[in-house]
Amino acid sequence: NAGVMQNPRHLVRRRGQEARLRCSPMKGHSHVYWYRQLPEEGLKFMVYLQKENIIDESGMPKERFSAEFPKEGPSILRIQQVVRGDSAAYFCASSLRTTPPNEQYFGPGTRLTVT
């Protein structure tokens, strides 16, 4: 019973390139969340998606960041024209439901380094 899967685990991009991070939720889970952990900082919510819908993107930067969760395939977090400040660990989590306790399980993360 596979957990949340993320790839790639490590991603190096030069400034100005695009980064694509992928997340496959746990089997049976239809709720996907993306979080970012900057060096020496706490985890911050970015976006919450269900299949084909963005439910809450209140934590997403207004520019360069986008997310999708298509009907088929993994959820994708896209960062266009990356800058050094985007270097962070990006974690995806999934949950089975949203009613309490709404337990979210995290994937191993993608560590993005912008050079």
Instruction: Give the helix ranges, DSSP H, for 1-115.
Output: none
Smallest separation, CB 98 to another protein (Å): 5
5-7, strands of its sheet edge to edge: 5-7, 19-24, 75-79, 65-68
85 vs 100, beta carbon nearer another protein: 100
17 vs 111, beta carbon nearer another protein: 111
> Running DSSP on this structure, what letter comes out for residue 4?
-
What is the binding site for another protein (CB under 8 A)? Answer: 31, 33, 35, 41-45, 48, 55-56, 58-59, 91, 93, 95, 98, 100-109
> Running DSSP on this structure, what letter comes out for residue 51?
T
Smallest separation, CB 42 to another protein (Å): 4
Tokens, residue 6: 């993320």
Smallest separation, CB 9 to another protein (Å): 10
Checking DSSP bridges between strand 53-56 and strand 43-50, what pairing results, if any? antiparallel
Smallest separation, CB 59 to another protein (Å): 7
12 vs 43, beta carbon nearer another protein: 43
Question: Can you tell me the distance from the alpha carbon of 64 to that of 60, in angstroms, rounded to the nearest whole number?
Answer: 9
